[in-house]
Amino acid sequence: MDEIDIDARVTGERTVIDVSGTRDVAVVVRSASGERIYLPPEDFNEPVSGSPYTSPYQGGSGVDGEESPYGGESGSTRGVSETADGFRITHPEAATEFDVYRGDDE
């Protein structure tokens, strides 16, 4: 199996989880209001290594609708947005726990 990288940042208002190295994972986030399952966007069937002309620095709307030069919510589905080598989850509360489930390579 290939190596994946998970980076989580939790504040009082939200949780941001970056997944890189694969797009074949599901993330379950638990917080005060319950549990939410996040899947990558449907068009993520292609491998992570894309075109050499793809840049993670394409402009777009950022967090909370602010403009960002670092890509953003275009192509987003309910808290999930594409990044150059994976995807980002933005959960609207502080997470108390999260689990990552990886697909089989078979």
Per-residue pLDDT of the chain (106 residues), as tens digits, is 578 999 999 999 999 999 998 888 899 999 999 999 998 876 655 554 444 444 444 444 444 444 444 444 334 457 899 888 889 999 999 999 999 998 765 5
Asked whether the whole model's pTM tops 0.75, one would answer no
User: What pLDDT, on a 0 to 100 scale, did the predictor assign at position 50?
Assistant: 45
Alpha-carbon torsion (55, 60, 62, 67), positive or negative: positive
Query: What is the three-class DSSP state of 64?
Result: helix
- 83 vs 19, 48, 71, CA distance in Å? 9, 10, 7
d(C-alpha 30, C-alpha 106), whole Å: 29
Phi, psi of 65 (to 5 degrees): 80, 0
d(C-alpha 95, C-alpha 9), whole Å: 9
